[in-house]
Amino acid sequence: MSNNIVVEARDLTVRFDGVVALDNVNLKLQRNELRCLIGPNGAGKSTFFKCLAGMQLPTSGEMIVEGEATTGYDPFRVARLGIGIKTQVPSVMDGLSVHENIWLAARRTQSTRKANGIVDDILGRLKLGDLARQDVSTLAHGQRQIVELGIVLAGDPWLVLLDEPAAGLTGDEVERMVNVIKEINDYATLIVVEHDMHFIRQIAKMVTVFHQGRVLIEEDVDTVLSDPIVRDVYLGKRR
């Protein structure tokens, strides 16, 4: 793999009324990488995610995507760079069908006819065919997560950001999610924010651990998971 950096955070800092959520975070991401961001509650990983997605304006520092400074971009401009974003609490269009949700995502860049084709393809890939005409507000949490993933995929992104994709999924669904993530990684770069260590173990290659707004460690998954400091952070031990 070439040394091709697609996402770079430079001294990213976010403060909320005196609370420092992110403290001078520097992070680099290479093309086609699958990067997991982990850390305990309040570690700053979701804030970092939001800065990248355009949902949070950093207090200082810069976010650079493929050489373009995206700091202060609105979410739609970030999305138009070809970035697919799945939020923490599933953000889907309640009141509309599964098909319509995915169609709207596909139609942004495609003609109506092509969008229809893309929707059928994604419904098949995610095994959502039976639910296609159902209103998403009637679906269970896990199904909504999958629908949101479908929405993200419909935009044909080269960079996919997933915030807690495994939260609230059943065992079967987790397995499906793992497979889909690996499949996406064949052609796209991924950033996955996750709590679930079991899930991380199944997908992760490189892991960045956040702690108290800083990057604690950035290593491959085995090193990170056997690191005593990481264990302490997760178990809440004082160092």
Q: Which residues bind other proteins (CB under 8 A)?
A: 21, 41-42, 46-47, 53, 55, 74-76, 79-80, 85, 87-89, 91-96, 100-101, 103-105, 107-109, 112, 135, 137, 141, 144, 151, 155, 164, 167-168, 195
Task: Give the pairing type, strands 189-193 and 159-163.
Answer: parallel
27 or 84, CB closer to other proteins? Answer: 84
> Is the CB of 1 or the CB of 130 nearer to other proteins?
130
For the CB of residue 214, give the shortest distance to other proteins in the complex, in Å. Answer: 16
CB 94, min distance to other proteins, A: 6
Report in angstroms how near the CB of residue 2 gets to other proteins at its nearest: 28
Q: Which is nearer to other proteins, 9 or 92 (CB)?
A: 92
Q: How far apart are CA 52 and CA 86, in angstroms?
A: 12
Taking only Cα atoms into account, the Rg of the chain, rounded to an integer number of angstroms, comes to 18
Question: Which residue lies nearer to other proteins by CB, 155 or 224?
Answer: 155
